[in-house]
Amino acid sequence: SVTLAYDVAKLMHLDKERVRAGKNLRYYERVLEKTGLRGLINPRLCSNICCCSSCEKVDAIEYYRSKEKQLLEEMRRQTEEVPDHPLGMAFVTLQTEAMAKYILKDFNAIECSGMKCCGGREPQPSSKSKTLKVNRWRVSFAPHHRSVYWENLSVRGCCWFIRCIGINISVFIVLTFLTTPTIIINTMDKFNVTKPIYYLNDPIISQFFPTLLLWSFSALLPTIVYYSTLGEAHWSKSSEQLSMMRKLYFFLLFMVLILPSLGLTSLAWFFRWLFDKTFLGGEIRFECVFLPDQGAFFVNYVIAAGLVGSGMELLRLPGLLLYTIRLMAARSAAERKYVKEHQAYEFEYGAMYGWTLCVFTVIMAYSIICPIIVPFGLLYMLLKHLVDRHNLYFAFLPTHLDRQVHLGAVNQTLAAPIICLIWLYFFSVLRAGFKTSTSLFTLVVLCVTVVFSLLITCFGHLKYLSPLNYEVTEQDENTAEGVEKNIQLYLPRVLDNKSPVCATEEPQKAKTYGSTEGSPVHGFGPVENTSSDC
């Protein structure tokens, strides 16, 4: 089947509000049936915590009934306007993965020096190829149907790139001056916030408290990166989580490992260290960099991440805070019940992968210079595994992501041994010299590791060395009934013929929205410059 894509951002927002209003209406209708009393509510925001007795209250059933009716009428108007706003893309559903891979290979044949790649085979033309401008189509595998953000498909082209670049530049400017928690800790010291800790004269508290602050602020500052990724309006959860993982990992890497190891406090100092002639003209004590004593600081950091961090993930305090705010903002008992029923969220693989990979990189970087960090790193990995398994089973909703997210996390781990070799090389050069046998051997091993990592991750070579192999299904193992069931998957729920909006229309006026499966002759055809996803 072929399903065309349309701009349904506003329609999906209206449908979400309609569903909430409908559930609230059913709640008060059941209350009326059981008690015979009609509920009264204050329709203002945060009226649940309002102590003013003079606030006007309205009948709950009439309020939610009129709201649901109003939203339903608005959805009908928006549904009629949907065919006028095509997005120039389509979802093509095939019977087997092998068929999709064959079509993808056919469309991705690239002309290079007058010859065609992909075995010398040209894309198969048809009588409508020139009319539809097939040579301009871009074809790729579609993500899981539950992973698609239908409301974000309308943000595309230059608008998406401008939005993404603007958000990331703003985040970069902010984080350039607030890169490490050291700046915040120094600011706190100016106001004598941490001085009572040192008056206790307890070496355990005085040594552990700075690392605890580092962990706390390193958990707080990446929140900016997290929400900036949500604002980029990705088309699928997989691309969103992959972008979040990469941005969060590199930000945490600079904040937690690289800059503190170099004795710098922020990226601003790092750029000044690289490019400022006056700064470079001064005497720089490189012998003070990569000291073994710094390993104690990172050992405390790993201990704090393992014990305190794992406990905080079990408590899920950010989720509890958001849950409390949503309860306070509820207008009625029905809305509070709705909040309680929808308090679970999907597991954020991108944020968790970025955080875990950062701690793993810290462990690997100092595993040779400071070997005592290894057993505490093992403790962290065991606790992290147990906590994540508990949260995946009992606390979070299932997440539908493509395998590229998990493969990207596996490839990201290659940075850890490379950084470990870089740390070992500079440590050897600063202590023993450049021409010593240990320094030269470490340099050779580092270069070989970097070359192999680039060949595997960037150029796709040496894949036979990877244990992660996926077999392409030549024939569909599902039954015919299963195939029929999967045909209409790539369609927003608001455009489904079974939705409340479409169900109220006459059967002869039912719209297919570009789906060729079982569509009448007056159904929507392909759109010019359509981008087809397999």
Token pair recorded at residue 294: 């710094």
Higher-pLDDT residue of 90, 194: 90
Give the H/E segment covering residue 89. Answer: strand 86-92
Say if 482 falls within a structural domain: no
Element containing residue 59 per DSSP (H, E): strand 58-59
The tokens for 17 are 């509000």
Q: Over 60: is that where the pLDDT of 390 sits?
A: yes
The reply to whether 356 and 324 lie within a common domain is: yes
Over the stretch 373-383, which tens digit does the pLDDT of each residue have? Answer: 999 999 999 99
Residues in the chain, how many?
534
Query: 193 in a domain, yes or no?
Result: yes
**How is residue 81 written in tokens?**
């306007």
Task: Count how many domains the chain has.
Answer: 3
Q: Is residue 393 part of a domain?
A: yes
Structure tokens at 432: 């023993």
Indicate whether 525 belongs to any domain.
no
- Residue 62: count other Cβ atoms within 10 Å of its Cβ: 12
Note the pLDDT tens digit of each residue in 173-217.
777 666 555 555 555 555 555 556 555 555 555 566 666 666 666
Q: What is the mean pLDDT of residues 220-236?
A: 81
What's residue 67's pLDDT?
92
Q: Are residues 118 and 209 in the same domain?
A: no
Residue 242 lies in a domain: yes
**Do 341 and 404 reside in the same domain of the chain?**
yes
Question: What's the pLDDT at 378?
Answer: 94
Single out the residue of 219, 151, 3, 10 nearest to residue 90, CA to CA. 3
Domain assignment present for 474: no
Element (H, E) at 453: helix 437-457
* Residue 97: pLDDT over 60: yes
pLDDT per position as a tens digit, 3-49: 888 888 889 899 999 999 999 999 999 989 998 888 888 877 776 66
Let me know: does 215 contact 308? Beta carbons within 8 Å: yes
Q: Is there a single domain that holds both residue 33 and residue 157?
A: no
The DSSP bridge partners found for residue 236 are 148
The predicted structure's pLDDT at residue 379: 94
Task: For residues 514 and 393, state if they share a domain.
Answer: no
Residue 532 lies in a domain: no
HSE (side-chain half, CA atoms, 13 Å) at 413: 9
Residue 240 neighbours by CB distance under 10 Å: 22
Average pLDDT, the chain: 76
Residue 115 has pLDDT above 80, yes or no: no
What percentage of residues in the chain have a pLDDT greater than 70? 67
Residue 121 sits in the same domain as residue 189: no
Does position 308 have pLDDT exceeding 90, yes or no?
A: no
250 and 309: one domain? yes
**Residues 165 and 262 occupy one common structural domain:** yes
Asked if 512 and 406 sit in the same domain, the reply is: no
Q: Is residue 481 part of a domain?
A: no
d(CA 391, CA 237): 19
- Output the CA torsion sign for 269, 275, 277, 280: positive
Does one domain contain both 319 and 188? yes
Domain encompassing residue 79 = 1-84+490-519
pLDDT number for residue 483: 46
* 294 and 349 part of one domain: yes
Question: Can you tell me the distance from the alpha carbon of 527 to that of 534, in angstroms, rounded to the nearest whole number?
Answer: 16
Q: Which uninterrupted H or E stretch holds 4? A: strand 2-6
Question: Cβ(395)–Cβ(343) under 8 Å?
Answer: no
Closest CA to 92 of 431, 490, 460: 490
135, 150: one domain: no
pLDDT in tens, 241-285: 999 999 889 888 887 887 777 765 555 555 665 555 555 455 555
pLDDT at 216: 66
